[in-house]
């Protein structure tokens, strides 16, 4: 019994990944379903094989850091700017001098020194139930702290990066003290303890638990396009409202990518970034995941057009990362779990 045990174990250990000639290695915080199809197309077009590990951004960053200069990863892809900022601070990215990329990406959606580039835009508007809420009352994120809205708002936990970034953008606009007071006001207005994801907030509003939900727009889009009638129905009951249009604009974050400091295939890595910024890839994000293309020279899909044009907050993406930790503590203090 002993020998077969050992033999089986050794055989299984030999199932290690094998290397290929033309390849590029990607650590991606974007889930496989939302990146693999694009990578496959890239491989079909260029013949460069893309090796993929998906995971949570923080864990991938930790992995990059501990692997150091021997890290096999050529690229780090995250779904928020805060983690790219953190990766740059940690010294695991390298700067890229690629005029063809900088020309494509608007300056505020890329790192000034070329450490990372945005790929798609993720907006966080406010949803409301028409008839129960006058959109004039939710014209800004700031208004969500108004005591008039007591018990009427649904928002997810502060554990989530989308809320952390939103609060970081508020800190950038108003400073910590004022944002702290705002967070307390918001928590006092919540209809329930924050639970669930973004879709759950929209569903709760549609079901009458609250009248206002804060959620990323692509979840709303996915619900509208769902095969599940209940989900579609819930999304159809709410309306999307762009806040802060008179002021700094609605909160947006990016998904973005950077070449690692340890990259062994920098050429191929740059090629992949260029591909992800190409017309086809940019439109793919909009069609498959209802995210806004990052390039402003591309037409929006009809669905995105239906939601109306909006002004996006022009705060530098760096700021979201810089204020992330402060945002978290502030939410801890406000009791925003």
Partner 1 sequence: MRTDLWRSSVVVIALLLALPVVTVLSFLLQPSGEVWRHLVATVLADYITNSLLLMIGVGCGTLLLGVTTAWLTSRYRFPGARLFSWALLLPLAMPAYIIAYTYTGMLDFSGPLQSALRDQFGWSYGDYWFPEIRSIGGAVTMLSLVLYPYVYLLVRAAFLEQSLGAIEVSRSLGAGPWRTFLQVALPLARPAVITGLSLALMETLADFGTVQYFGVDTFTTGIFRTWFGLGDSAAAAQLSALLLLFLFSLILLERWSRRQARYHQSGQRWRTPPRQPLSRGRGIVALILCLLPLLFGFLLPAGQLLIWAWRSASHSVDLQFVTLTLNSLALAAAAALLTLLLALLLAYGRRLRGGWAVHSSLQIAGLGYAVPGTVIAVGVMLPFAWIDNTLDGWLRSQFGISSGLLLSGTLVALLFAYAVRFLAVSLNAVEGGLGRIRPTMDDAARSLGLRPLQVLRQIHFPLLRGTALTALLLVFVDVLKELPATLILRPFNFNTLAVRAYELAADERLADAAPAALMIVVAGIGPVILLSRAIARERCPESPSLLTNRRSDHAA
Minimum CB separation of residue 83 from partner 1 in Å reads 9
- Interatomic CA distance for residues 163 and 213, integer angstroms: 12
- State the CB neighbour count (10 A cutoff) for residue 165: 26
Closest to partner 1 by CB, 37 vs 299, is 37
For residue 257, the surrounding DSSP H or E stretch is: strand 252-259
Minimum CB separation of residue 12 from partner 1 in Å reads 4
- C-alpha distances in Å from residue 268, one per residue of 138, 239, 241, 262: 46, 43, 41, 14
Closest to partner 1 by CB, 84 vs 312, is 84
Closest to partner 1 by CB, 177 vs 333, is 333
Q: Where along the sequence are the contacts to partner 1 (CB under 8 A)?
A: 1-2, 5-6, 8-9, 12-13, 15-17, 25, 31-34, 51-56, 58-59, 62-63, 66-72, 86, 157, 159, 164, 193-200, 203-204, 206-209, 219, 222, 227-228, 230, 234, 324-325, 328-329, 332-333, 337
Closest to partner 1 by CB, 87 vs 104, is 87
Query: Which tokens belong to 163?
Result: 């809320």
- Give the chain's radius of gyration (CA, Å): 21
Minimum CB separation of residue 302 from partner 1 in Å reads 22
Minimum CB separation of residue 97 from partner 1 in Å reads 26
Closest to partner 1 by CB, 5 vs 44, is 5
Minimum CB separation of residue 112 from partner 1 in Å reads 22
Minimum CB separation of residue 7 from partner 1 in Å reads 10
Non-local (6+) Cβ contacts of 150 within 8 A are 188, 189
- Cβ burial of 236 (10 Å; 0-12, 13-18, 19+) is exposed
Closest to partner 1 by CB, 194 vs 258, is 194
Minimum CB separation of residue 334 from partner 1 in Å reads 9
Angle, vertex CA 322, rays to CA 52 and CA 143, nearest 5? 105
Residue 197's SS3 state is coil
Closest to partner 1 by CB, 114 vs 256, is 256
- Interatomic CA distance for residues 27 and 55, integer angstroms: 8
Minimum CB separation of residue 107 from partner 1 in Å reads 27
- Interatomic CA distance for residues 195 and 200, integer angstroms: 8
- State the CB neighbour count (10 A cutoff) for residue 227: 6
Angle, vertex CA 171, rays to CA 165 and CA 175, nearest 5? 175
Q: What is the 3-state secondary structure (H, E, C) of 284-315?
A: HHHHHHCCEECCCCCCCCHHHHHCCCCCECCC
Q: Which residues pair with 259 in a beta bridge?
A: 75
Closest to partner 1 by CB, 101 vs 224, is 224
């Amino acid at each position: 019994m002993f020998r077969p045990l050992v033999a089986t174990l050794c055989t299984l250990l030999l199932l290690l990944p094998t290397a290929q000639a033309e390849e590029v290695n990607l650590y991606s915080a974007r889930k496989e379903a939302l990146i693999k199809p694009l990578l496959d197309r890239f491989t079909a077009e260029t013949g460069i094989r893309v090796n993929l590990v998906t995971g949570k951004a923080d864990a991938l960053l930790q992995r990059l850091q501990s692997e150091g200069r021997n890290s096999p990863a050529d690229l780090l892809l995250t779904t928020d700017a805060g983690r790219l900022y953190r990766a740059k601070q940690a010294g695991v990215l390298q700067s890229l001098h690629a005029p063809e990329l900088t020309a494509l990406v608007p300056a505020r959606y890329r790192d000034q020194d070329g450490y990372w580039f945005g790929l798609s835009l993720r907006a966080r508007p406010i949803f409301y139930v028409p008839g129960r809420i006058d959109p004039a009352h939710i014209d800004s994120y700031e208004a969500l702290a108004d005591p008039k809205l007591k018990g009427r708002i649904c928002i997810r936990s502060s554990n989530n990066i989308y809320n952390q970034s939103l609060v970081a953008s508020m800190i950038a606009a108003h400073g910590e003290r004022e944002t702290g007071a705002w967070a307390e006001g918001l928590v006092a207005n919540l209809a329930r303890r924050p639970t669930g994801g973004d879709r759950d907030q929209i569903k709760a509003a549609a079901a009458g638990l609250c009248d206002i939900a804060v959620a990323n727009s692509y979840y709303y889009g996915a619900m509208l396009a769902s095969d599940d009638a209940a989900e579609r129905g819930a999304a159809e009951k709410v309306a999307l409202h762009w806040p802060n249009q008179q002021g700094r604009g609605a909160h947006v974050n990016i998904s973005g990518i950077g070449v690692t400091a340890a990259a062994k295939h920098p050429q191929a890595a740059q090629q992949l970034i260029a591909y992800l910024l190409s017309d086809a890839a940019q439109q793919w994000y909009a069609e498959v995941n209802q995210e806004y293309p990052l390039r402003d020279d591309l037409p929006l899909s009809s669905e995105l057009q239906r939601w109306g044009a909006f002004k996006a907050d022009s705060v530098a993406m760096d700021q979201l990362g810089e204020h992330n930790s402060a945002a978290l503590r502030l939410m801890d203090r406000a009791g925003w779990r």
